[in-house]
């Protein structure tokens, strides 16, 4: 049984990352791209827990992003839910190295999220150039991989801390 105190601390943790993503990190953007901490958090959560919990975190963080950005509602919800589930399902079959696994999982998830959004935008009738993809995908990969280990470590410590609290 999970306590309300644990739920409060997890919500505070997610909101702190969200505030950093939306207020501080856009200042340090590269080609208009900054780190997507909600994606990195979903990956970290999926690696530490399982596919169902990863999908839940993806749904909740995607919902938070969709509500805050005002873009096409449901795009991040669907993308992060699928990515969270796939990462959690994949994590059962790999050695859980605390340094390289989050970085590699974040790389595939960033590319998957990026192309998922591009395909949805194409289906909606929007166009863009190949140069735009190259100019924005590489900075997104660099930013997200740079923050993969710190977010994974913080999530892991929160999980351990919550496990010790009774």
Is the Cβ–Cβ distance between 59 and 97 less than 8 Å?
no
**What is the 3 state secondary structure string of 90-155?**
HHCCCCCCCCHHHHHHHHHHHHHHHHHHHHHHHHCCCCCCHHHHHHHHHHHHHHHHHCHHHHHHHH
The 10s digit of each residue's pLDDT in 85-99 is 999 998 877 766 677
Tokens for 57, please give them: 């975190």
Domain count for the chain, please give it. 1
Burial class (CB in 10 A: 0-12, 13-18, 19+), 99: exposed
Domain that holds residue 27: 4-164
Q: What is the mean pLDDT of residues 131-153?
A: 89
pLDDT the model gives residue 41: 95
pTM across the whole model: 0.88
pLDDT at residue 111 tops 90? yes
pLDDT the model gives residue 129: 76
CB neighbour list of residue 79: distance below 8 Å, 6 or more residues apart: 58, 62, 112, 113, 116, 117
The mean pLDDT value of the chain amounts to: 87
Q: What is the CATH number of the domain that holds 115?
A: 1.10.1760
More confident residue, 121 or 166: 121
């Amino acid at each position: 049984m999970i306590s309300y105190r644990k739920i409060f601390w997890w919500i505070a943790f997610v909101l702190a990352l969200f505030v950093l993503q939306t207020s501080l990190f856009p200042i340090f953007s590269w080609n208009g791209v900054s780190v997507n901490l909600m994606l990195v958090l979903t990956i970290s959560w999926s690696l530490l827990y399982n596919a169902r919990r990863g999908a839940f975190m993806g749904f909740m963080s995607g919902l938070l992003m969709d509500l805050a950005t005002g873009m096409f509602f449901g795009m991040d919800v669907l993308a992060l839910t699928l990515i969270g589930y796939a990462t959690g399902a994949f994590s059962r079959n790999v050695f859980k190295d605390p340094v390289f696994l989050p970085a590699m999982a974040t790389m595939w998830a960033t590319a998957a999220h990026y192309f998922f959004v591009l395909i949805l935008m194409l289906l909606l009738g929007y166009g863009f150039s190949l140069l735009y993809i190259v100019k924005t995908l590489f900075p997104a990969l660099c930013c997200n991989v740079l923050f993969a280990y710190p977010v994974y470590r913080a999530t892991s410590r929160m999980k351990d801390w919550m496990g010790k609290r009774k």
